[in-house]
Structure 1
Amino acid sequence: MEGEVAQKNTRGSWSLLRPFQMISISLLSLLVPLSFLFLSRLSLSSVPVTVSRVSSFLHQADVGVLYTILSLIIVSTLVNNLSGKPECSLLHSHLYICWIVLFLVQACVAFGIEGIMSTTTPTNPDENLFLASQERWVLVRVMFFLGLHEVMMMWFRVVVKPVVDDTVFGVYGEEERWSERAVVAVTFGLMWWWRLRDEVESLVVVAEVKCKLLASLDGFDFLNWWMYYICVVIGMVKIFKGVSYFVNMFILTIKRSRKGCESCVVVDVDHV
């Protein structure tokens, strides 16, 4: 009896903390799209004539750390989608690693965005970048959107949720809730509509324009191009899995209807 009362009190206290947990999850999950936004704006700083080099707002080590963490998350997401296995829970038993990763990404994004905002250098792409962005296939953008959302969900499951649950509830043992997925998806959609859909294309467009102009590419241009198209591949895998799921459901429905018709025929024959 006392155990049931304690469980009820625990659930009641958790229900009071649930809104704070949802807000924290939605904000911290946005670090991934914000990182892509920061890197897309940083890529414009290497475009000659139109944008001057930005070198005072973030150290090269910070950018390298951000690229490293994002690359690991992207590759993990791709492997998880191709294998179909649940994501690795190794970090869940070592929450201090999640805390360190979360702190590093938040610090890199905060310093980077603040540095970009504090500069007076215009970040509007020139006509070549605008035309190259408009020429991109709509389906590629859709696949990148889905892939980036999947990368954000991996970040939410592996890093954000364990840290937030441990901080708010004092323990990480809850299963993923549909409400949490919905909040993360809505915040990502708003972020995409507000900024990402117009600016994230520079990650790959800058490198393609440089190739057309026979300009030299640096390592960051290649990394931007690589991360963009890995996200496109992840989106392609998600589309293929979705189509396969609906096709299988359609085939199963047809088989069940046929079996139902055959059973009806057999019953009628027996009666005759």
Structure 2
Amino acid sequence: MEDEEAQKNARSSWSLVRPFQMISISLLSLLVPLSFLFLSRLSLSSSSAPVTVSGLFSFFHQADVGVLYTILSLIIVSTLIHHLSGKPECSVFHSHLHICWIVLFIVQACVAFGIEGSMSTTMSTNPDKGFSLASQERWVLVRVMFFLGLHEVMLMWFRVVVKPVVDDTVFGVYVEERWSERAVVAVTFGLMWWWRLRDEVESLVVIAEVKRNLLIRLESFDFVNWCMYYTCVVIGIVKIIKGFTYFVNMFILTTMKSRKGSEHCVVVVDDDHV
């Protein structure tokens, strides 16, 4: 009886803090699309207007951007490898919470410092007409694949870093992933995409392509932006192929089961009526 009451109390306490856990997951998962948004604005502003910053601030700014590029690249490559290998979800970092805490803190600090630094400088976030036209001419299917790929990258960030930290903070233990958590992350990402990303994130790749067409020397960050964008596109393509293969296999298995069931049916003929 005491064990049952303890379990009931634990469930009731978990139900009370569940909304806080969902809100924390949705907000911290947004760090990945916010990082893409910041880097796209940085790329656009650096190509359209000069940046006037002090020497010390420039050093910290470059270090901040470099660290953010490194972490995002690792997450994107890990997502691509995970989808290509087809291995189980790598949400076992709850046994290495110190790593999750450090990575989460670094990304949050980099995004906050980058956004504050971009607001305190004379960088312009108004795109040129050439960049806008080039972005509008991009193939819609590429945008869809990038949307799916970025969503998978965000899910990887949620499973590997965000969820272990939030679960340990709220519940004290790691809780298995639920569909409700995936739904909250997907809805949050969809709102973020509709609000800002769909209009601004294209500058990650458009600026590099425009510079190449105009024979302007590409910087290292332009090439990294181009690679990150199209890696997300590849992740989206792999996601579509795996989903199509899954449904084809399900259809084949269902057809085979129905055929086997029809073969096992025996028709009995009554000789008296013949």
Please give the TM-score of this superposition, normalised by the length of structure 2: 0.92
Matches within 5 A, 1:21-40: 21-40=21-40
Deviation per residue, 1:179-203 (Å, 9 max, x gap) = 1000000000000000000000000
Check conservation: 1:45, 1:54, Cα contact below 8 A: no
Aligned to 1:71: 73
**Structure 2 CA distance for aligned equivalents of residues 249 and 111 of structure 1:** 48
Aligned to 2:99: 97
The Cα of 1:230 is off from its aligned counterpart by 0.6
SS for the counterpart of 1:171 is coil
Once superposed, what is the RMSD of the aligned Cα atoms? 1.7
Question: In the comparison of the two structures, how many residue pairs are matched?
Answer: 267
Q: Aligned pair in 2 of structure 1 residues 213, 93: CA closer, same or farther (>3 Å)?
A: same
Aligned to 1:109: 111
Deviation per residue, 1:123-151 (Å, 9 max, x gap) = 12112111211121111111100000000
**Structure 1 CA distance for aligned equivalents of residues 270 and 254 of structure 2:** 27
Aligned to 2:242: 241
Check conservation: 2:43, 2:204, Cα contact below 8 A: yes
Segments of 5+ residues of structure 1 without an aligned counterpart are none
The amino acid across from 1:217 in the alignment is L
1:51 is the counterpart of 2:52: no
**Structure 1 CA distance for aligned equivalents of residues 270 and 113 of structure 2:** 80
**Structure 1 CA distance for aligned equivalents of residues 214 and 270 of structure 2:** 81
Aligned to 2:8: 8
Q: Aligned pair in 2 of structure 1 residues 270, 32: CA closer, same or farther (>3 Å)?
A: farther
Q: Aligned pair in 2 of structure 1 residues 54, 10: CA closer, same or farther (>3 Å)?
A: farther
Deviation per residue, 1:10-65 (Å, 9 max, x gap) = 11111100000000000000000000000000101221xx3223645751111111
The Cα of 1:254 is off from its aligned counterpart by 1.9
Identity of aligned residues (%): 80
Please give the TM-score of this superposition, normalised by the length of structure 1: 0.93
Segments of 5+ residues of structure 2 without an aligned counterpart are none
1:157 is the counterpart of 2:159: yes
Deviation per residue, 1:47-87 (Å, 9 max, x gap) = 1xx32236457511111110111111111111111111124
Deviation per residue, 1:142-177 (Å, 9 max, x gap) = 1100000000000000000000011111122x1101
**Structure 1 CA distance for aligned equivalents of residues 231 and 123 of structure 2:** 30
The Cα of 1:222 is off from its aligned counterpart by 0.8
The amino acid across from 1:68 in the alignment is T
**Structure 1 CA distance for aligned equivalents of residues 177 and 242 of structure 2:** 21
Aligned to 1:145: 147
